Structure 1
């Protein structure tokens, strides 16, 4: 029988090479995909992955300086490739996100090799690899996270341009005194703006305001 082709997309060399060696001994036709130079758009990895026509791709969510591996799930799935995410990330909302975009299952990097191999075998045979209830729970985590992001973005849209600039300074780690000096205004003026920001974002501290902005992947207006 033809061996199942498996591609490993992973930025940690030791873990990737261990997978390649172990799965090779299990009888799989497995290779690691080179990630290329850091900083390249992660979508440029797609041709490299598909070149060997893998049946299954083992994909890490966080590819370090190479970017967010989750962005590859949907295009790989559309190509007819089965994606199994193997990750050290424990954010269940992100697990739900990749399942929503077509991944067959998400496994922690601490999972035994036998579990990973069993998932590959079942996926290659067209069998389900995740319990329906568990999948539904993970999707709910993702949907709740999406709702929280939408809520945060709606609050951020309440800010005036000047308030957005002040929040942008906080994202850069600046304090009220420094912001006042850079903006050529009094500290009292900045504190008034901060009070308005906290009220509109419905948070009680500058740290909470920064956290909300980061969760929403918000960027301040350009000068």
Structure 2
């Protein structure tokens, strides 16, 4: 017989059936009213449809994964769920603490690792029900500060990439493909001296001292790695 004291409506948003079932069983035994939203085949597949399916159950708490298929992201669910009065706990296999910080900045009450024992998740639900913090203020501030710093740096990287001319962007994409100055010159039908001048300009605008650093910055800034035609 399940315990009804302190009953909490919880929705699990998870596309891994075995993990979702384990959570469901553990939380039900704790006396909670558990519902599940399973993105993917036979279920909602976009962030908007997953959000609608979750809110349909009128949960007090939503336990969400971040990886919800090719067309949905758990991060996009956090803010609208939080605005609707739902406490969001992210349970993820992602170990990137910057992503954790983004989740907290979006309004998540806590971020937990899937590698943690189920008791950690159960304790988090108890804390939420009792109005207590799931994560310490120090840990939340540390993760959110790191995330904000990373976002600021990424903005600066993209600003530098945007300063490149179309031709310089083409040359940079060639470098991302591992092509040498000679190969770029041959492909573009220009002299090697011209390409070297363009590379020098790229390095100056990106504030880096090597082609390798420029390529690394381009990857971080999300410059599309596509084949280019002069």
TM range (shorter): 0.7 to 0.9
The TM-score, its normalising length taken from structure 1, stands at: 0.84
| Secondary structure of residue in 2 paired with 1:8 | strand
Name stretches of at least 5 consecutive residues in structure 1 with no aligned partner.
none
1:215 to 216, 220, 225: 220
**Where in structure 2 are the equivalents of 1:101-112 lying within 5 Å?**
101-112=106-117
Cα deviation, 1:105-153, whole Å, max 9, x if unaligned, reads 1111111111101111221332221111111111111111112112212
Shift of 1:18: 2.0
Name which of 68, 75, 88 aligns with 1:83: 88
Per-residue deviation, 1:180: 4.6
Q: Could you say which residue in structure 2 is the equivalent of 1:12?
A: 16
**2:63 matches 1:61:** no
1:42–1:66 contact (8 Å) kept in structure 2: yes
C-alpha separation between the residues in 2 aligned to 1:161 and 1:182?
16
1:125 corresponds to 2:130: yes
What secondary structure, in the 3-state scheme, does the structure 1 residue paired with 2:85 have?
coil
Q: How does 1:1-223 map to 2 (within 5 A)?
A: 1=5, 3-36=7-40, 41-171=46-176, 173=177, 175-176=179-180, 179-180=184-185, 183-186=188-191, 189-219=194-224
Cα gap change, 1:163/1:44 in structure 2, threshold over 3 Å: closer, same or farther? Answer: farther
User: Which ranges of structure 2 fall in alignment gaps of 5 or more residues?
Assistant: none
Q: Which has the larger radius of gyration?
A: 2
Q: CA deviation at 1:103?
A: 0.4
